[in-house]
């Protein structure tokens, strides 16, 4: 019997053949696992094949017919988890992934850390065992452990290794709920290979996922007295500053945020690699972290409201004196008061120092960020009734801030003009050309190089338009994360564009094959400075401090001699590729051709030879 798919375009469809006309009743443990995945609503499950879940794999194809969930094949476990992570952020749903035992998990751990720090609801199933030593082959002894989930515990909210099939189903329902409960994050359930492959010997009951005990909890509200205290500070402030963070992936955050900023006459800035307020809003003073003109407002503000910021100490300048890092007022500056609206203190920090130093706040709104934002807006609106005296001050502030906004955006455009013709291509010119190429499309900004992002050039119209980066600072998320975001974007007709560094891309280029194979349209713009640029800058900084030659900073950083042909790499994986584009005047044409390919359903990569920053 041939094990090959039918002739023609044999590997394109991944539609199972030679199955009964009607779906059959479950026969094996893995069949009811697939029923549970369907009941939980998964459309896709990412995986890199592994023998420890061969039973589930067979059931997904030959029992579930590779439909809801559909298998998404990835070349590496880190890509698979990154894909689920990106999909979760862009869809607002749980991302699903299956990992092979031990070795597969260890491949995936960096991506699991990113998802954990980024609070992405990722549901991980793992194959394990068999628990019965008599059933283990040679490779099973190598790849199994008594407490396999020990590997995943530092990276997840909850893990389980159930020992009966009914317990497996109950654990899956519980893991799904826990993963979604705020603050969201990965969960892990390991399913013994013996349970997967054994015939059913009696009835099992799928947990009812509509029951309250299996549904995510309602959003957490802030105590009324904390909301009132926050409103007191903001209304009495000479210059309130609002800083928006991870709430920016939710489109519904734009309206209440705009209303609060305008009602208070507050200055506004985005946290690093976040976009919450429209770029053109006259009170938006987001301008990057390096130029004093843009960070000046942080030193002037006397009350700060941070909304869903990952590291409040960083936002408020607490690391300004630590090895040359940070910005704004130092940790000892007590001239301003801080209101922290987040669920940061609910984050489970088993071992990592994620979240930074203890948050410096005067008022804590420990609440779901979107729900808490609406609570605070409601309280401020109530106090504004009847033309309260503070409203006149707020209007005057807003007018002054509008002037500063216009001046800031003008300076940002001047930077673009001054670097227009530079070669290698300036990052500012690249951002401009990419935005011009997609601005009339229903674009979704999947990711960008936030360390050298030039604000004010790309015009965001609010939250839900930029998905931010990996969360955990783990390079290699970019390709898989971009494909996951693009998979979610495909469902509602958005046009995904990812600006990815060459170092990040080099760690997972095979993600392009997944996108090409499953016809997931995606535009990748490679910010190719031929270097691990962040670390090259560190070497330059340290060399200056030590009085050593900065000319050597490139050694151990530059991927050159030979240069990588990234366009050829893209084409080898079935994508469209062009570049390297070295003349800035050639960039618009290359991007136009790439956009046309993506609109036709393809994956396109444009390799842009850029400067370090």
Q: How far is CA 372 from CA 279, 338, 364, 383, in A?
A: 23, 16, 11, 17
Burial of 542 (0-12, 13-18, 19+ CB in 10 A): middle
Backbone phi, psi, residue 602, to 5°: -95, 175
Please tell me the predicted confidence (pLDDT) of residue 473.
Answer: 82
Residue 60, by phi and psi: left (phi above 0), alpha (psi -120 to 50) or beta? alpha
Cα–Cα distance, 308 to 312 (Å, whole number):
9
pLDDT in tens, 487-525: 999 999 999 999 999 999 999 999 999 999 999 999 999
SS3 at position 306: strand
pLDDT in tens, 414-473: 999 999 999 999 999 999 999 999 999 999 999 998 778 899 999 999 999 999 988 888
CB atoms within 10 A of CB 35: 17
Please tell me the predicted confidence (pLDDT) of residue 212.
Answer: 87
Q: Quick one: CA dihedral 470, 473, 479, 480, positive or negative? A: negative
Cα–Cα distance, 260 to 380 (Å, whole number):
8
Please tell me the predicted confidence (pLDDT) of residue 516.
Answer: 97
Mean pLDDT score of the chain: 91
**Which strands form 363-366's sheet, in the order they lie side by side?**
267-270, 240-244, 303-307, 337-342, 363-366
To 5 degrees, how large is the angle CA 220–CA 222–CA 223?
125
Contact 560, 566 (CB under 8 A): no
Out of 102-106, 260-264, 376-380, 508-512, least confident range: 102-106
Please tell me the predicted confidence (pLDDT) of residue 334.
Answer: 54
Please tell me the predicted confidence (pLDDT) of residue 8.
Answer: 53
pLDDT-derived band at 135, boundaries 50, 70, 90: confident
Please tell me the predicted confidence (pLDDT) of residue 554.
Answer: 85
Element (H, E) at 173: helix 165-180
Please tell me the predicted confidence (pLDDT) of residue 470.
Answer: 86
Q: What average pLDDT does the segment 597-602 reach?
A: 98
Beta bridge partners of 240: 303
Residue 293, pLDDT above cutoff 70: no
Contact 380, 264 (CB under 8 A): yes
Burial of 203 (0-12, 13-18, 19+ CB in 10 A): exposed
Q: Identify which has the larger pLDDT, 563 or 37.
A: 37
Residue 206, pLDDT above cutoff 90: yes
Please tell me the predicted confidence (pLDDT) of residue 133.
Answer: 83
Contact 249, 468 (CB under 8 A): yes
Which residue, 43, 39, 38, 13, is CA-closest to 487? 43
pLDDT in tens, 355-404: 788 888 999 999 999 999 999 999 999 999 988 899 999 999 999 999 99
Please, how many CA atoms are within 13 Å of residue 451, restricted to the half-sphere of its CB? 16
Residue 18, by phi and psi: left (phi above 0), alpha (psi -120 to 50) or beta? left
pLDDT-derived band at 609, boundaries 50, 70, 90: very high
To 5 degrees, how large is the angle CA 506–CA 510–CA 513?
140
pTM of the model: 0.94
Q: Residue-wise over 270-284: b if at least 16 C-beta within 10 A, else e? A: bbbbbbbbbbebbbb
Domains and CATH numbers, the chain: 29-214 (3.40.50.970), 224-414 (3.40.50.1220), 419-609 (3.40.50.970)
Which residue, 155, 163, 51, 60, is CA-closest to 104? 51
């Amino acid at each position: 019997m041939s094990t090959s798919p039918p002739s023609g375009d044999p590997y394109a469809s991944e539609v199972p053949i030679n199955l009964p006309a009607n779906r059959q009743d479950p026969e094996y443990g893995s069949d009811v696992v697939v029923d549970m995945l369907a009941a939980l609503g998964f459309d896709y499950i990412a995986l890199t094949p592994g023998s420890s879940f061969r039973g589930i794999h067979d059931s997904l194809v030959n029992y579930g017919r590779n439909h809801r969930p559909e298998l998404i094949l990835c070349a590496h476990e880190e890509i698979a988890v990154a894909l689920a992570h990106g999909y979760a952020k862009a869809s607002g749903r749980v991302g699903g992934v299956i990992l092979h035992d031990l070795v597969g998990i260890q491949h995936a751990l960096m991506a699991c850390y990113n998802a954990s720090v980024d609070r992405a609801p990722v549901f991980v199933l793992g194959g394990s065992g068999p628990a019965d030593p008599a059933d283990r082959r040679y490779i099973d002894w190598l790849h199994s452990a008594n407490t396999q989930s020990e590997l995943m515990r530092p990276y997840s909210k909850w893990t389980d290794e159930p020992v009966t099939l009914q317990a497996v189903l109950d654990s899956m329902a519980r893991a799904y709920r826990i993963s979604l409960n705020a603050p969201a994050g990965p969960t892990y359930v390991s399913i013994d290979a013996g349970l997967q492959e054994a015939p059913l010997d009696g009835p099992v009951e799928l947990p009812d996922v509509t029951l309250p005990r299996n549904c995510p909890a309602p959003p957490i509200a802030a105590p009324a007295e904390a909301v009132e205290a926050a409103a007191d500070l903001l209304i009495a402030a000479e210059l309130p500053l609002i800083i928006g963070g991870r709430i920016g992936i939710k489109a519904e955050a734009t309206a209440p945020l705009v209303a609060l900023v305008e009602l208070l006459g507050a200055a506004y800035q985005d946290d690093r690699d976040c976009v919450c307020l429209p770029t053109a809003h006259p009170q938006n003073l987001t301008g990057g972290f390096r130029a004093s003109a843009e960070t000046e407002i942080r030193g002037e503000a006397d009350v700060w409201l941070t909304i869903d910021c990952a590291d409040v100490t960083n936002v408020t300048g607490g690391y300004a004196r630590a090895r040359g890092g940070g910005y704004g007022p130092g940790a000892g500056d007590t001239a301003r008061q801080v209101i922290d609206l987040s669920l940061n203190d609910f984050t489970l920090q088993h071992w990592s120092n994620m979240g930074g130093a203890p948050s410096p706040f005067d008022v804590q709104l420990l609440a779901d960020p979107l729900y808490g934002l609406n609570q605070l807006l409601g309280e401020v609106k109530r106090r504004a009734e009847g033309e309260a005296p503070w409203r006149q001050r707020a209007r005057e502030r807003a007018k002054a801030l509008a002037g500063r906004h216009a001046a800031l955006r003008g300076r940002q455009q001047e930077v673009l003009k001054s670097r227009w013709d530079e070669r290698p291509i300036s990052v500012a010119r690249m951002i401009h050309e990419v935005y011009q190429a997609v601005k009339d499309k229903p674009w979704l900004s999947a990711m960008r190089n936030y360390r050298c992002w030039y604000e004010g050039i790309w015009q965001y119209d609010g939250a839900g338009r930029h998905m931010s980066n990996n969360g955990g600072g783990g390079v290699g998320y970019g390709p898989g994360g971009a494909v996951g975001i693009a998979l979610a974007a495909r469902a509602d007709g958005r046009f995904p564009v990812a600006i990815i560094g060459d170092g990040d891309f080099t760690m997972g280029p095979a993600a392009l094959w997944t996108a090409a194979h499953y016809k997931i349209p995606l535009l990748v713009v490679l910010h190719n400075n031929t270097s691990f640029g962040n670390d090259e800058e560190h070497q330059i900084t340290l060399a200056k401090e030590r009085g050593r030659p900065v000319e050597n900073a490139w050694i151990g950083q530059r991927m050159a001699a030979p240069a990588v042909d990234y366009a050829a790499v893209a084409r080898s994986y079935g994508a469209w590729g062009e570049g390297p584009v070295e003349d800035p005047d050639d960039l618009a044409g290359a991007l136009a051709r790439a956009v046309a390919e993506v609109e036709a359903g393809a994956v396109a990569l444009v390799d842009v030879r850029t400067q370090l920053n």
